[in-house]
Amino acid sequence: MTQLKNDTFLRALLKEPVEYTPIWMMRQAGRYLPEYRATRARAGSFMGLCTSPDYATEVTLQPLDRFPLDAAILFSDILTVPDAMGLGLYFAEGEGPKFQRPLRDEAAIRALAPADMGKLRYVFDAVASIRKALDGRVPLIGFSGSPFTLACYMVEGGGSDDFRHVKAMLYSRPELLHHILEANTQSVIAYLNAQIDAGAQAVQIFDTWGGALSHAAYREFSLAYMQRIVAGLKREADGRKVPVIVFTKGGGQWLEDIAAIGADCVGLDWTTDIGQARARVGAKVALQGNFDPNALFAEPAAIEREVARILASYGQGSGHVFNLGHGISQFADPAHAGALVDAVHRLSRGYHGAA
């Protein structure tokens, strides 16, 4: 395996000393980049990008060719897993993801089985192809959805404002939701371990909708399953630790619970003060975040002020991976993303090493 030329991201996740605060951006490969839109047009569709290792490699590298980011993230989607479980994923133009066969009746739920990893081979092939193309430039992040976030899409059949079907199930037929979550958990463990085998050097679990739950429901239906996943993952590959990042959007109130499940790093959305988060859980885990993605609509000078505020709030020392608090908007100006990366690298040097 090629030696990593820049391992700052991996060191920060393990709270080892770094020279500056590393940064990557959630959804860093995406529609805000004209070169992404051009490749997607050539591939014909978003799933055309995901299912072709060559296209997936090309778009994964696009943001790295523009900005000096400290990590690459596999280009794919969390919904490939329920698709492999037979739900029939499709993207209706301008409407986001949808499933042909959402889980609405008991018989369909009882028949649900963990995903066959053979159907996800295109993802593992993409991981291997991206690792090769990166040639050690920066580490590659693999990812999956959390069992609960996947279940939201599987039961609702697509995105939702109120999650009425999945919440009705949670409160009136909890055993059915647990059955789905069990199948998802087994799938995600196998899926992430296969990504690690194929070359992923860190993994992130996206729990986008866990924050929509009550605290009690969050612990029972989201966190408990993520804890099982963390316990089931390979934590070392090629003689190096494979750090695990857990990101529950809206989970700022529950940081102590989240930091206790055994992950190396907890992702924060922008509503939490990162300095306060560090005081609460910084001894246990590294923190990732937490720039408001919509602050990228402001001018570069304002972006830089906000970067300075977040870096000062985290304070001296390692254990911080800079990121957005959620995915970058398709309407963001790439030049502003560049200003963000530059400001993080420039301003963070003062927080590391001998003062």
- Could you tell me which residues are annotated as the binding site? 27-31, 77, 153, 208, 326
Q: How far is the CB of 49 from ligand CP3 (least distance, A)?
A: 7
Q: Which is nearer to ligand CP3, 60 or 318 (CB)?
A: 60
Of 342, 258, 311, 282, the C-alpha closest to 68 is 342
Contact status, residue 79 vs residue 153, Cβ threshold 8 Å? yes
Of 146, 246, 138, 247, the C-alpha closest to 199 is 138
> Which spans of this chain sit near ligand CP3 (rule: CB under 6 A)?
26-31, 40, 46, 73, 75, 77-79, 96-97, 143, 159, 206, 208, 327
Give per-residue burial for 51-77: e unless 16+ CB within 10 Å, then b. bbbebbbbbbbbbbebbebbbbbbbbb
Q: How far is the CB of 4 from ligand CP3 (least distance, A)?
A: 20
Using DSSP's 3-state secondary structure scheme, residue 4 falls into: coil
CA–CA distances in Å: residue 132 to residues 61, 140, 193, 253, 341: 11, 10, 19, 40, 25
Q: How far is the CB of 158 from ligand CP3 (least distance, A)?
A: 8
Q: How far is the CB of 57 from ligand CP3 (least distance, A)?
A: 13
Q: Which is nearer to ligand CP3, 195 or 208 (CB)?
A: 208
Distance CA 218, CA 211 (A): 7
Q: Which is nearer to ligand CP3, 75 or 221 (CB)?
A: 75
Residues labelled as active-site residues:
27, 31, 40, 77, 153
Contact status, residue 87 vs residue 150, Cβ threshold 8 Å? no
Contact status, residue 74 vs residue 144, Cβ threshold 8 Å? no
Q: Which is nearer to ligand CP3, 38 or 283 (CB)?
A: 38
State the binding site for substrate.
Answer: 27-31, 77, 153, 208, 326
